[in-house]
């Protein structure tokens, strides 16, 4: 396939396609459990905010959002508390904390 031949072969084919399509994988982490690496939430690179992540799961989540804990390259501390404006990075892990 010409497209794949043009991409440098330092990554696996799957990784190259994620980069080429500009998609971002975000993993969920329920409270008290391990992250779910089997079913990422996929966001387009131009809309990777926590708000977009929440809306991708369900519209009601954003309404009940207090903050989120994020592990990954988009934060300085592991985990770090963030708000809905935070921009997520590929393969970040997110735990939603709801208002009580």
CA 57 to chain centre: 12
Per-residue pLDDT 10s for the chain (100 aa) are: 455 455 455 556 667 766 666 789 999 999 999 999 999 999 988 899 999 999 999 989 999 999 999 999 999 999 999 999 999 999 999 999 999 7
Count of alpha carbons within 13 angstroms of residue 25, beta-carbon side: 13
As a whole number of angstroms, the distance between CA 36 and CA 14 comes to: 19
As a whole number of angstroms, the distance between CA 31 and CA 24 comes to: 22
Query: Which two three-digit tokens encode residue 67?
Result: 């903050």
Instruction: Please state the pTM of the whole predicted model.
Output: 0.81
As a whole number of angstroms, the distance between CA 74 and CA 60 comes to: 24
53 three-state secondary structure:
helix
């Amino acid at each position: 396939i010409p497209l794949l031949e043009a991409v440098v072969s330092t990554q696996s084919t799957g990784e190259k396609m994620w980069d080429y399509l500009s998609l971002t994988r975000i993993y969920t982490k329920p409270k008290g459990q391990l992250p779910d690496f089997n079913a990422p939430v996929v966001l387009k690179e131009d809309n990777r905010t926590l708000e977009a992540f929440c809306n991708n799961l369900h519209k009601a989540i954003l309404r009940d959002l207090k903050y989120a804990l994020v592990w990954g390259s988009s934060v300085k501390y592991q985990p770090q508390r963030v708000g809905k404006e935070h921009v997520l990075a590929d393969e970040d892990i997110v735990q939603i904390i709801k208002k009580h």
